[in-house]
Structure 1
Amino acid sequence: MKPKSLVGSLALAALVAWNAAPAEQPMTPPKPDALTEVASHIPGARPDQLRLSPIQGIYEFTRGAEIAYVTSDGKYAIAGDLYDLTANDDLTETHRREVRQHLIAAVPETDMVIFGPKDPKYTVTVFTDVDCGYCRKLHSEIAEYNRLGVRVRYLMYPRTGPDTSSWTKAEQVVCSPDRNDALTRARLRARRNTRHRHGERRAAARLCPAGRAGEAPQGRYRQVAASARRGPGAKRSLRARDFSARGDSACPACLPTPWHRAARPSSR
């Protein structure tokens, strides 16, 4: 037989075998005992949910809001999203949205700060930080959202973690008898403080002859800071105008130590 004829015969045989293959049977959900056995094979982790994925022999492992895929023997794990190329759908993200909704629904509204009508058209749950500029921007428009029937439920989320200023502010809001008023006032204070700090930094940068951090003599700066605080009614912090009046080369923009932490003047 010639080579071309041999290749053609093999291709035809493969096509016949493919067409003769039985149709794929619908996937049946595993029995509870099977899931328990698979979970027992996964070392050091107890899933909140374990279910068979669309891939035979691969299980979807859910813990909190995290989703991964594991083999039935627990030896291998796959991190990443699973896509259905036929439907062009991210199956993992679809399940992840369901998990998020379930987790948020489990949080009682007594732990939230809620702005909006009792019978809203829409409800939005927001993780918020008092010192977050974007959060302040959203809250500045909260009345308009409420007017349009949008109810906003805040969950306090100080990004800097425990034992920080943002954490303390969040505690004060949650422990206040009027959380809505406390949150609004805290945001207004944070906004004013941010504007004040940014204004001083810009003014200091304009007056700084060094041009970048670390080039000014810290000792000389402390003397200027101390003299600015002497006498009755003296200022508690050093302003940019103190530098321009004294012609000093040091400024808050180019010192490793913030001006409000400068050495106290001696008792002379």
Structure 2
Amino acid sequence: MQKRIRIAAFALAAAISVLGCSAQADQTTDKIKATLQSRLGVDGGDIKSISKAPMAGLYEVNLGTQIIYSDANGDYVLTGDLVDTKAHRNLTEARLAELNKVDFSKLPLENAVKVVKGNGKRQMAVFSDPNCPYCHQLESTLKSIDNVTVYTFLYPVLSEDSTTKSKSIWCSADRAKAWESWMIDRKAPTAAGTCNTAAIDSNLKLGAKMNVTGTPTVILADGTRLPGAVSADRLESALGAVR
């Protein structure tokens, strides 16, 4: 009986210890958040999460599109990449990719322009603005990528003309053809953008929710993001790594 009591007491003490550590961690992260809000004018909603960084004494502050680092009091802040010199790995980049991973299966693909290349077995999504020069560059790159289905979410964020062109492309009889004609051959879409363009409004809301702050933003089938006009080699390698 005494042995059982001792075991129960040990288990209770261990549980209290874990709860104490958790409470202490919560107090620290709450303090950091409050300090950054008051001193830097950071909105509480902009801070998505705060957790311990791989480097002792540092805390990772997730701002959605950026990770910064703070000490335990919020007195000092570091911006930039944290690099593991042993593994030659950019920890900040890897962590941001992990935090911003997308559930591809939940993307509303019906709101995207679908282009099938070859057998179309591989899949990727792109948030793209029709007037974005880097988006044009990516479309040229995609000409050399085969056996892939590309779902382009029209994401007009650069100008009013971007919205006009997006609506015209969406209202075209052949959206894929209208999109590629403009992005690759610079043949402006001619359809009147008077059809139901609610999909474009939905895309803008979805992109904001997913922290899509630049175009193009590529999303692979495993949820990995590739920001910017990635090269053909990098894109092919990334597509091949998807399992």
Alignment of 1:80-119 (within 5 A): 80-102=80-102, 107-116=107-116
Name the aligned partner's letter for residue 149 of structure 1.
N
Pick from 141, 152, 176: which aligns with 1:180? 176
Q: Residues 86 and 177 (structure 1 numbering): CA distance in 2 closer, same or farther, change over 3 Å?
A: same
1:257 is matched with none
Code of the aligned partner of 1:41: T
* C-alpha distance 144-58 of structure 1, shift in aligned 2 (>3 A): closer
Q: CA deviation at 1:152?
A: 1.3
Query: CA–CA distance in 1 between the matches of 2:73 and 2:137?
Result: 50
TM-score by length of 1: 0.48
How far apart are the structure 2 equivalents of 1:151 and 1:189?
20
Alignment correspondent of 1:167: 163
Going from structure 1 to structure 2, the CA distance change for 1:137 and 1:67 (only over 3 Å counts) comes to closer
Task: Tell me the distance in 1 between the aligned counterparts of 2:128 and 2:98.
Answer: 22
Task: Provide closer, same or farther for how the CA distance between residues 74 and 105 of structure 1 changes in structure 2, counting only shifts above 3 A.
Answer: farther
Residue 94 (structure 1) shift = 0.6
Unaligned runs of 5+ in 1: 1-28, 194-268
Q: Comparing both chains, which one has the higher relative contact order based on Cα–Cα distances under 8 Å and sequence gaps of 6 or more?
A: 2
Tell me the distance in 1 between the aligned counterparts of 2:76 and 2:126.
36
Residue 151, structure 1, aligned to residue 144, structure 2 = no
Task: Output one character per residue of 1:54-74: Cα deviation in whole Å (capped at 9) or x when no partner.
Answer: 123321111222111112212
Deviations 1:64-116 (A, max 9, x none): 22111112212221100001112221100111222343387775323322222
* 2:162 counterpart letter in structure 1: S
1:41 aligns with 2:35: yes
The SS at the match of 2:86 is coil
AA at the equivalent of 1:98: E
- The answer to whether the 8 Å contact 1:169/1:186 transfers is no
Counterpart of 2:55?
55
Post-superposition CA distance 1:173-193 (Å, at most 9, x none): 235565324323444772489
Q: What is the deviation of 1:170?
A: 1.5
Q: How many residues align?
A: 161
Residue identity matched to 2:152 = Y
TM-score by length of 2: 0.52
Letter of the 2:30 partner, please give it. Answer: T
Aligned residue for 1:86, secondary structure, equals coil
8 Å contact 2:182–2:188 — kept in the other structure?
Answer: no
SS in 1 for 2:73: coil
Residues in 2 aligned to 1:177 and 1:192: alpha-carbon distance in whole angstroms: 14
Distance 1:104 1:81, change over 3 A: farther
| C-alpha distance 149-168 of structure 1, shift in aligned 2 (>3 A) | same
- Matched-pair contact (CA < 8 Å) for 2:111–2:153: yes
One-letter code of the match for 1:114? K
Q: In the aligned structure 2, how far is the partner of 1:141 from the partner of 1:55? A: 38
Indicate if the aligned counterparts of 2:31 and 2:74 stay in contact, CA closer than 8 A. no
Higher alpha-carbon Rg:
1
Contact 1:131/1:190 (<8 A) preserved: no
Unpaired runs of 5+ in structure 2? 1-20, 190-243
CA 1:56 to 1:162, structure 2 compared with 1: closer, same or farther past 3 Å? same
- 3-state SS, counterpart of residue 42 of structure 1: helix
Aligned equivalent of 2:126: 126
Q: What CA distance in whole angstroms lies between the structure 2 residues aligned with 1:93 and 1:140?
A: 26
Cα RMSD, aligned residues only: 3.7
